[in-house]
Amino acid sequence: MNSLAEKINKMLVAKDSQDSLTQVNVKGCVIGGEQIVVIAGPCAIESEDWLKETAFKVRGAGAAMLRGGAFKPRTSPYSFQGLGEEGLITLAKIGEAMNMPVITEVMDSEDIPVVSEYSDILQVGARNMHNFSLLKKLGQIDKPVLLKRGMAATVEEWLLAAEYILAGGNNQVVLCERGTRSAEKWTRNTLDLSAAALAKELTHLPVIVDPSHGTGVRSLVAPMAKAAIAAGADGLIVEVHPHPERALSDGEQSLTPRQFSILMREIEPIGKVMGRRVR
Amino acid sequence: MNSLAEKINKMLVAKDSQDSLTQVNVKGCVIGGEQIVVIAGPCAIESEDWLKETAFKVRGAGAAMLRGGAFKPRTSPYSFQGLGEEGLITLAKIGEAMNMPVITEVMDSEDIPVVSEYSDILQVGARNMHNFSLLKKLGQIDKPVLLKRGMAATVEEWLLAAEYILAGGNNQVVLCERGTRSAEKWTRNTLDLSAAALAKELTHLPVIVDPSHGTGVRSLVAPMAKAAIAAGADGLIVEVHPHPERALSDGEQSLTPRQFSILMREIEPIGKVMGRRVR
Amino acid sequence: MNSLAEKINKMLVAKDSQDSLTQVNVKGCVIGGEQIVVIAGPCAIESEDWLKETAFKVRGAGAAMLRGGAFKPRTSPYSFQGLGEEGLITLAKIGEAMNMPVITEVMDSEDIPVVSEYSDILQVGARNMHNFSLLKKLGQIDKPVLLKRGMAATVEEWLLAAEYILAGGNNQVVLCERGTRSAEKWTRNTLDLSAAALAKELTHLPVIVDPSHGTGVRSLVAPMAKAAIAAGADGLIVEVHPHPERALSDGEQSLTPRQFSILMREIEPIGKVMGRRVR
Amino acid sequence: MNSLAEKINKMLVAKDSQDSLTQVNVKGCVIGGEQIVVIAGPCAIESEDWLKETAFKVRGAGAAMLRGGAFKPRTSPYSFQGLGEEGLITLAKIGEAMNMPVITEVMDSEDIPVVSEYSDILQVGARNMHNFSLLKKLGQIDKPVLLKRGMAATVEEWLLAAEYILAGGNNQVVLCERGTRSAEKWTRNTLDLSAAALAKELTHLPVIVDPSHGTGVRSLVAPMAKAAIAAGADGLIVEVHPHPERALSDGEQSLTPRQFSILMREIEPIGKVMGRRVR
């Protein structure tokens, strides 16, 4: 383990490589500061009405940022692939109207310009954590990046993926633990909170946790969200859908706006114990 | 997932099979009640002096129960195998003197009588979770059992292992999540707090978490302990050694008594948020 | 990797610790010699008639040894647990009548005497590979042992488990790869033939492969059996049942006697290429 | 398992969706026909001299195609990243001179044109198996594609990734099993030959195996290569380097030309048993 620590210590992501911890400013919303930043919204942008309804409600409950997928990485070519640029336009419009920064996924280096135009921070999904061409190009843009851990990536590989972006000159990187693949059948993934704690210990980057993909089970989102904050996470990204049973993807793990509102109330006192505020 | 839930619902461990949650009374110390029960002590019992020193200090810091291995499941036949019955005698003696219930592992059905004589609760280790002969015999004794999840066991298999004990007539069972095997190299295991949350959701049994084996890394014990409590765990089992650098096993993951004392102070306010007391 | 090799090289299982490779003689049937030894039979002994029918047919097809479970390690306490001693008596009787050595599993150290009385070689199942009490006691008996690899055990741990038996004085040990747990949903386990090849490279012990449990899928048994022999395995253990659709356990992966007979014809020429005979 | 089979059966990759098995013609070299196609060469193209030396020797030993990486997916941004287009030019030149079709990896959809210009078949690496943007674009080109299985991908996900290419109109797809991530420390990956056998059973596409990345250990390449052919694989892709100890990447798993030549002689009789010729 010592040799791993030594390796990380020579990297740009290493905690000791900077005098202070990195704070990532997403259009005024600071990740890695005093506030625990909660990002909420649907898995995929499906309609303007539903997105507006969701945004209105999650903002009311205390969400700091709005999520929504326009380019969707789907296992099957026959599944709903997202609305593409049309979805981006909708997302940006609602974010503007609600005064919330927005986040969406970029799946291909060719799409960096269009996603950058509409999104305030670019998400690299778990399936692209090892897409080194994409990472290199994201190192050269002037927008923050949220980097999800690959579903079978080690912590070292995850930090090296972030290093690709920092080495390119962009140090506005947020790490996101979203669960790893395992043999467990009950949950969709196995959320590895020790990876989040380790990333906090080793690097100067903010670290958030995705309890929705991390478990794939609605009833586990709240306990894992609370656990993530107790483990030291700087934020959460949570799937919320006004009508989960009709969602085109990930309905099983999406909270209703009402459930999200309860979640926000539950994490607030845990945040306070950790010296953080949620709103 | 529905079929899994249906299968569990027909079992004796199912939450709905009882009117109330099970509380396991270990010589006056109740697991599954208002108190978050913290069990502490060395991986292996090495000497009476060190065990006494540890017990004195962890009790002072708020530990409710004393742990220590006498029969040790070691990967190599050439590693220290534990002191056997001599260790059990020492453990019982110190527990008595300190007025702390004690816990130790039983590795073989033949050893049930001797371990039962000295230990207040019998631990089944991860490597024996699938030792069905042992489980059946533990179903017939009149002592509580702490059942660790196997290192590659699914939650369903873990609950079925508990079912073996309940089916035999012994419902004094505590479940313990201790990390699952993964490809991660930094940590010894990947602690799966969602399994603990799931076990709390599905069963009436108390669930505790072992952040020491669950991570294998000293610096991760405190964040994972806090996370476990925020996820709803009823207790913790933590390795504490007065001289970790000289420990015959698991030194890398053992806290010093001083570090343990800090940990206890840190988990107290998280416990309070969860409506629990730590002492 | 070098440090792993060095560690193994100091062990009793190490290839260099002996002048020649170990041959395990099971009542005249030699595992690790010129012959590729094929062990066949049902998962569990269900009735004398079915076992006799199976034995007659697999012997005719070239099987050298008869398998059948009497003590069954079942995930659920409510599944068929095997016929116990009654099953052992049946197995021994049929083996005698057919002039075939027999193999069955021992699940608990207390059962070593009774299983030794009826079985010509004792099998340690994957779930008990880390049952060190059992391994130690098997080191003291005068019967060969077949040691299956644990479902999440590393090769090093598997060889150390064998070392427990050798260190006790019993070097009549056969290693058996039977598949490891993975996230794959199509197969029951992921058969790791590189582990078998590695065990052949590092140790002097014979190594056989279980393509039935290793895949859990009938149509994959034959390709994996052929692959195992091409990878250097000394034998196979295959589940055969006269009426798989009515089997009390593992019907999905059992071959019919006719399918087994085809398998034997298919592996023969692969064996010949490897300088081995199948009968 | 039945529902998985049903799902696959509706896909373009399904065996029953065509009257005959797909043969992929790479500049005259047919994968999926009578010949077992062996692709050999260095991990990365380092110098023209070394590549020429390797090509000359592997062709002499019976290799049908030449491999060599120009764009290298490296975990660390500070590792050798490949020679890029300069490497492609070298590869094409040597392939031309030796009259061998060549294969190299494409890492990004933007690079498809340049890689297509020089390479006779485009390789998608394990880290990009879930790069759906890349897969979609490869569905629209007129070149064959070799699709490696992702390191934690299920067989279903692998076949769905191939389906992305077929759905785009390109059915010249070769599947390649290259090992999955596991907790095993001795090998770099766990080669899953049952996945290769399953892909052969379920689809009409040719399937080859990479025993070099699949094990990461030189001594295991030959046994796994033989096993792959016995399991029904249509070919192999093997790393060969004239001076493995000086290789810029993957030296530990590369064969010398002499070792490769021995390998070719060893697989020939296994191929014959399977009704195939190696040259």
Per-residue pLDDT reduced to its tens digit, B13-24 = 999 999 999 999
How far apart, in Å, do the first and last CA atoms of chain C sit?
38
Q: What is the pLDDT of residue A1?
A: 47
What is the number of domains present in chain D?
1
CA atoms of A273 and A36, how far apart (whole Å): 12
pLDDT tier for residue A2 given thresholds of 50, 70 and 90: low
Q: Please determine, for the modelled complex, whether the ipTM score is greater than 0.95.
A: yes
Contacts of D183 in chain B (CB under 8 A): 181-183
- Mean pLDDT, chain A, rounded, equals 96
Q: Is residue C8 part of a domain?
A: no
Q: Is D255 exposed, middle or buried (0-12, 13-18, 19+ CB in 10 A)?
A: buried
Stated length of chain B: 279
Reduced to 3 states (helix: H, G, I; strand: E, B; else coil), residue C80 is coil
CA atoms of B87 and B68, how far apart (whole Å): 8
Mean pLDDT of A136-164: 97
Quick check: A91 pLDDT over 80?
yes
B221: Cβ contacts below 8 Å, ≥ 6 apart: B211, B212, B215, B238, B253, B255, B259, B263
pTM for the full predicted model: 0.97
Mean pLDDT of A64-81: 95
Unique residue bearing structure tokens 């590659």: B152
CA atoms of B115 and B61, how far apart (whole Å): 27
- Rounded to 10 deg, the angle between the A85-98 and A48-61 helix axes is 40
Q: List the subunits that have 3+ CB pairs under 8 angstroms with A.
A: B, C, D
Decide if A124 contacts A110 (C-beta within 8 A).
Answer: no
For D258-269, write each residue's pLDDT tens digit: 999 999 999 999
Mean pLDDT of C22-48: 97
Quick check: A10 pLDDT over 90?
yes
Q: Is residue D84 part of a domain?
A: yes
For B236-275, give one letter per residue: b (16+ CB within 10 A) or e.
Answer: bbbbbbbebeebebbbebbbbbebbbebbebbbbbbebbe
Query: Which helix (H) or strand (E) covers residue C219, if one does?
Result: helix C218-230
CA atoms of D229 and D193, how far apart (whole Å): 10
Contacts of A127 in chain D (CB under 8 A): 130-132
| Cβ–Cβ gap D186/C198 under 8 Å | yes
| Cβ–Cβ gap B181/D183 under 8 Å | yes
Eight-state DSSP code of residue C108: S
Half-sphere exposure (Cβ direction) of C187: Cα atoms closer than 13 Å? 30
Contacts of D192 in chain C (CB under 8 A): 182, 184, 190-191
For B43-102, write each residue's pLDDT tens digit: 999 999 999 999 999 999 999 999 999 999 999 999 999 999 999 999 999 999 999 999
Contacts of C156 in chain B (CB under 8 A): 75
Mean pLDDT of D104-124: 97
Q: Is residue B95 part of a domain?
A: yes
Quick check: A100 pLDDT over 90?
yes
Rounded alpha-carbon distances, angstroms, from residue B53 to B46, B176, B241: 12, 26, 9
For C47-78, give one letter per residue: b (16+ CB within 10 A) or e.
Answer: eeebbbbbbbbbbebbbbbbbbbbbbbbbbbe
- Mean pLDDT, chain B, rounded, equals 96
Q: Is residue B6 part of a domain?
A: no
Q: Which residue of A has its CA nearest to D108?
A: A133
Decide if C260 contacts C61 (C-beta within 8 A).
Answer: yes
Quick check: C1 pLDDT over 50?
no
**Helices and strands: H and E segment counts in chain C:** 10, 10
pLDDT tier for residue B3 given thresholds of 50, 70 and 90: confident
Q: Among partner residues A110, A127, A160, which is closest to D110 by beta-carbon distance?
A: A110
Eight-state DSSP code of residue C256: P
Rounded alpha-carbon distances, angstroms, from residue D137 to C194, D15, D24, D110: 35, 24, 19, 10
| Cβ–Cβ gap B107/C151 under 8 Å | no
Reduced to 3 states (helix: H, G, I; strand: E, B; else coil), residue C29 is strand
Quick check: B1 pLDDT over 50?
no
Q: Is residue A180 part of a domain?
A: yes
**Kind of pairing, strands B29-31 and B37-41?**
unpaired
Mean pLDDT of D135-158: 97
List the structure tokens of D25. 């013609």
Domain of D94: which CATH number? 3.20.20.70
CA atoms of B212 and A195, how far apart (whole Å): 15
Give the domain range for residue D42: 34-273
Q: Among partner residues A73, A131, A132, which is closest to D74 by beta-carbon distance?
A: A132
Q: Among partner residues B76, B152, B156, which is closest to C160 by beta-carbon distance?
A: B76
Beta strand extents in D42-94 (DSSP E only): 65-67
Q: How many CB atoms lie within 10 A of CB B185?
A: 14
| Cβ–Cβ gap A4/B217 under 8 Å | no
For C214-226, write each residue's pLDDT tens digit: 999 999 999 999 9
Quick check: B2 pLDDT over 70?
no
pLDDT tier for residue A66 given thresholds of 50, 70 and 90: very high
Which of the two residues, D2 and A72, has the higher pLDDT score?
A72
Half-sphere exposure (Cβ direction) of D34: Cα atoms closer than 13 Å? 4
- How many Å lie between the alpha carbon of A156 and the closest alpha carbon of chain B? 8
Eight-state DSSP code of residue A53: H
Q: Is residue D13 part of a domain?
A: no
Reduced to 3 states (helix: H, G, I; strand: E, B; else coil), residue B93 is helix
Q: Which residue of A has its CA nearest to C183?
A: A183
Q: How many CB atoms lie within 10 A of CB B5?
A: 12
Interface A-C, measured as beta-carbon pairs within 8 A, has a size of 5
Phi-psi region of D191 (alpha: psi -120 to 50; beta: other; left: phi over 0): beta
Beta strand extents in C202-257 (DSSP E only): 207-209, 235-239
Rounded alpha-carbon distances, angstroms, from residue B156 to B260, C187, D212: 33, 18, 36
pLDDT tier for residue C2 given thresholds of 50, 70 and 90: low
Rounded alpha-carbon distances, angstroms, from residue B215 to B184, C150, C156, C266: 10, 21, 21, 47
Q: Is residue A8 part of a domain?
A: no
Eight-state DSSP code of residue B10: T
For A197-234, write each residue's pLDDT tens digit: 999 999 999 999 999 999 999 999 999 999 999 999 99
CA atoms of C14 and C193, how far apart (whole Å): 19
For A168-178, give one letter per residue: b (16+ CB within 10 A) or e.
Answer: bebbbbbbbbb
Mean pLDDT of C234-245: 95
Mean pLDDT of C254-271: 98
Reduced to 3 states (helix: H, G, I; strand: E, B; else coil), residue A103 is strand
Mean pLDDT of A115-120: 98
Mean pLDDT of B104-124: 97
Q: Which of D195, B182, D148, D179 is nearest to C194 (CA)?
A: D179
Query: Residue A26's beta-bridge partner residues?
Result: A29
Residues of B with CB under 8 A from a CB of A: 1, 4, 152, 154-156, 180, 182-187, 190-195, 197-198, 200-201, 214-215, 217, 219-220, 223-224, 226-232, 252, 269-270, 273
Q: Is residue C214 part of a domain?
A: yes
* Residues A114/A119/A120/A123 CA torsion (nearest 10 deg): -90
**Kind of pairing, strands A29-31 and A24-26?**
antiparallel
